[in-house]
Amino acid sequence: MSTQSTEIVDLFLSRIRDHRLDVIYTSSGSTTLTVYIEPWLIFATNEFSDYADQTLTYVTSTGSSVSGYFTEDLNVPNKVMLSLLMTKYWLEKTIKDIIQISSVITDRDFKTFSAAQNLKAKQDYYNSLQEEISQALINYAYKRNNFSNWYNQIFDSSYL
């Protein structure tokens, strides 16, 4: 069995609201949207692979015909963590887009531009999201730890 990228993309899309992604979906369909979002999934996979209790081997999309997929059937906690990490990369891009706008237009115009007005709020949200992700990764790692070995002073079970 394998896990289709669309399963994780659906979880990711349930966490965010983005007009640009809505336009891509309505004008080009879900396959195009998944291909557009795929780099965030790849970044998330790379960041999470050291923590995951499953192998995160990902086969990328091949144009508009075949969606990307993971070679293993991922469990729900791994799917949720990947979608959470995708949110981080989506927000990072959104903030960079606003900062890019600020370098093109004058200060006065930038301050009156609606997306620029919430730049501070988005940066604050990004910081809180980073903390949420850090805590989620810590909680994930603790759930995977075998504390009975620790109680018996066996800190690395690979030597057993």
Distances (CA, A) of 45 to 9, 39, 69, 85: 13, 10, 12, 8
Mean pLDDT of the 89-105 span:
73
**What does pTM read for this prediction?**
0.76
> What pLDDT score was predicted for residue 120?
80
31 domain-assigned:
yes
- The residue range of the domain holding 17 is 3-147
155, part of any domain: no
Q: Are 74 and 45 in contact (CB under 8 A)?
A: no
pLDDT at 99 (0 to 100): 64
In a domain, 93, yes or no: yes
Q: Is residue 157 part of a domain?
A: no
Instruction: Look at residue 160 and tell me if it is in a domain.
Output: no
Domain count, the chain: 1
pLDDT in the model for residue 114: 56
Instruction: Give kind and range of the element (H or E) at residue 145.
Output: none
Does 154 map to a domain? no
